[in-house]
Amino acid sequence: MKILISLVSFIGFLLVVLPGPLYKYGIIDLGTAFAGFTLGMMAGGAALIMLLLQALFKRQTLTLGSAIITVMFSAIAIIMPLSMLSKAKSVPPIHDISTDLKNPPEFVAIIPLRADAPNPATYAGEDTAEQQREAYPELQTLTYSQSKSELVEASEQAVNNLGWELVNSDASAGIIEATDTTVWFGFKDDIVMRINDGGIERLVDIRSKSRIGKSDLGKNAERIHAFIKELDDVLVE
């Protein structure tokens, strides 16, 4: 029985861990991947119930090693999807984040790369802006004293440091575009940075948008925060 319980917990673990890479390499679609999460949670829960029953009625067949393995695999199978669900509930169901909500930076070179993407390159609209204002009020246009050329160069370095793919850098227009590919599912999210001359200061705006999905689980806002921090670090070097 302990082998069966360990096997069920391991199957639950696989149903939660494998959907990401399988979707990333085009083996399954996104719906199937998310269905795997549900089945994985069910398998993990079933394994824990079976383990409890074994402990109550067949304690002599229970070993510490098999119990630890079952609990470990089952915990991962249950906690990972619940963590994602909790994150989804804690952030607004949007996927287009910008530091300038009235005139968001526009994609240029990235537009052809998004030709087949479910989410269009155009800004998502005022409803998205309102939800962002409530969830991420700290995301505002940035001001820097450095020249436009210095900021473009520093932005390129920040993009490289973050491991993003640099798609376009136009120093004269003050536009930098990049793509970030997530590790687990391989989702591609696009970023555009715009640098304008504001007189004695330069105005920097960043926009990050997912190619697929209604909710980004807060990833685009996190990405903008990461870029700002990296840009500031590069500028003080």
Residues 100 and 207 reside in one and the same domain? yes
Whichever domain contains 161, its CATH number is 3.30.530.50
Residues 112 and 218 in one domain: yes
**Into how many domains does the chain fold?**
2
Given 51, 71, 90, which residue is the final one in a domain?
90
105 & 47 share domain: no
**Residue 108 and residue 149 share a domain:** yes
115 pLDDT band (50/70/90 cuts)?
very high
Task: Please say which residue of 90, 113, 148 terminates a domain.
Answer: 90
Q: Do residues 166 and 231 share a domain? A: yes
What would the DSSP string read from start to end of the chain? -HHHHHHHHHHHHHHHHSHHHHHHTTSS-HHHHHHHHHHHHHHHHHHHHHHHHHHHH-GGG--HHHHHHHHHHHHHHHHHHHHHHHHHHHS-S--EEES-SSSPPPPSTTGGGGTT-SS-SS---HHHHHHHHHH-TT---EEESS-HHHHHHHHHHHHHHTTPEEEEEETTTTEEEEEEE-TTT--EEEEEEEEEE-SSSEEEEEEEEESS-S--TTHHHHHHHHHHHHHHHHHH-
Model confidence pLDDT, tens digit, residues 163-173: 999 999 999 99
pLDDT digits (tens, 9 = 90+) for 3-17: 899 999 999 999 999
One domain, residues 78 and 166: no
**pLDDT tens track for 52-104:** 998 888 887 878 888 999 999 999 999 999 999 999 999 999 999 999 999 99
- Same-domain status, 46 and 128: no
Residue 49 lies in domain: 2-90
67 shares its domain with 102: no
Mean pLDDT across the chain? 95
Q: Are residues 125 and 213 in the same domain?
A: yes
Does 120 lie in the same domain as 65? no
Which of 66, 90, 114 marks a domain boundary?
Answer: 90
